[in-house]
Amino acid sequence: MSGQPASFIAGPGGRVSGEIRVPGDKSISHRAVMLGAIAQGITEVNGFLNGEDCLATLAAFEAMGVHAERPAADRLIIHGVGLRGLKAPPAALDLGNSGTGMRLLAGLLCGQEFDSVLVGDQSLMRRPMDRIGAPLRRMGARIRTREGQPPIKITGRMALQGVAHELDVPSAQVKSAILLAGLYASGRTLIVEPTPTRDHTERLLAAFGVPVECDGAEISIRGPAILQGCRIEVPGDFSSAAFFIVAGLIAGASPLLIRNVGVNPTRTGLLEILRLMGADIRLLAPRDCGGEPVADLEVRPGPLRGITVPHEFVASAIDELPVLFAAAAVAEGETVVSGAAELRVKESDRISVMAEGLQRVGVHAEVLPDGIRIRGGAVGGGLIESRGDHRIAMSFAVLAARAGKPVVIRDVRYVATSFPGFAAMARSAGLLLGEQD
């Protein structure tokens, strides 16, 4: 993480307006690299997120013999090696801070002819991995962890068999790991979701020519499968746009236009929640881009009111909940979120860390077993410990626009993993955000 600022110094009073375009979708960028690598022929990826998480995934495949040209920072030309063409890497594959990269890659590597080891940075090495290990073992994989945490050690040359697996908790990463293993398995791999989660893997598999059957809560594929290289257009990342959606609502001087944002309905629970809170957010020029719905978002500033968030929107807003908590801090009344236990096993325990930060700036926040209760009110200044969590850091950078005094946010180096150039874009939109080494 060298070269990245250690802290943000966020000033109060920033006024957001104008027009911005956020970087490419991280979830789609990860998956495009993985599927392009094991496809036959060439895959062209436009809009690739040039962030550290996705670059770690790309480096892992290059270590396994995949050649990728980069004619521009956001463009890849991947020379696929086919389903069985990956080579044994010379060392452990380091995924940095990327939980998505590690979990999805584990599923894909279970079908290889060689042994492999997955590691990451200090934060990633503490994250739970048995949620993928258990279903993959049922498929015949030999996969070991250290008391449920990385390193993940995978034995190759195992015959995989398709299984039916019902997810205990909604998780697109677990679902995707199983589907990627299913590409190498004999027979049908079936997943049953308790609640719909982001479906980028299913959409991309279809784009690469793999038949995917979706019937209500059931998703299935049949393996072994053959993938054909294709052209992928990556839209702007909704999770990155979320910070500016909230900034436009709570600190807007005039409408803010966010161009070319992916609005996949399995990702946009935040929009539904904010609209229930009174937000005026409009989708302009809706269109299809490479199998993904895309639109320009117009965000109009206005007051918000606290609500009890309906459970059906929680899974599709899971990554955006930290910035929702920032919006709740300035909403009138009380906001309650439950059914969000998944937040406790992200880059940090996002429920506890957000509650701690809100309390430090004078906002009433009560931790619940699987959520949080926030009473909106005046926001003061203070010192925020982001615990190395990029979404925590960016959420408080947005909230600081409504603070009475400056907010210092420490340990922000990991912002570059998902949103390179965040601070510069925030300043261009009108937020008062400085950086400090």
Q: Which residues are catalytic?
A: 319
Strand-strand pairing, 116-119 and 382-385: unpaired
Q: Which of 153, 52, 160 is nearest to 98 (CA)?
A: 52
Q: In angstroms, rounded to a whole number, what is the distance separating the alpha carbons of residues 76 and 31?
A: 13
Q: DSSP assignment, residue 23? A: P
Name the strands in the sheet holding 164-166, side by side, starting at the edge strand that comes first in the sequence.
164-166, 187-192, 218-223, 213-215
SS3 (DSSP) at 195? coil
SS3 (DSSP) at 152? strand
Q: In angstroms, rounded to a whole number, what is the distance separating the alpha carbons of residues 162 and 133?
A: 15
**CA distance between the termini of the chain:** 12
Q: In angstroms, rounded to a whole number, what is the distance separating the alpha carbons of residues 428 and 425?
A: 5
Helix (H) or strand (E) segment spanning residue 51: none
Q: Is 82 left (phi over 0), alpha (psi -120 to 50) or beta?
A: left
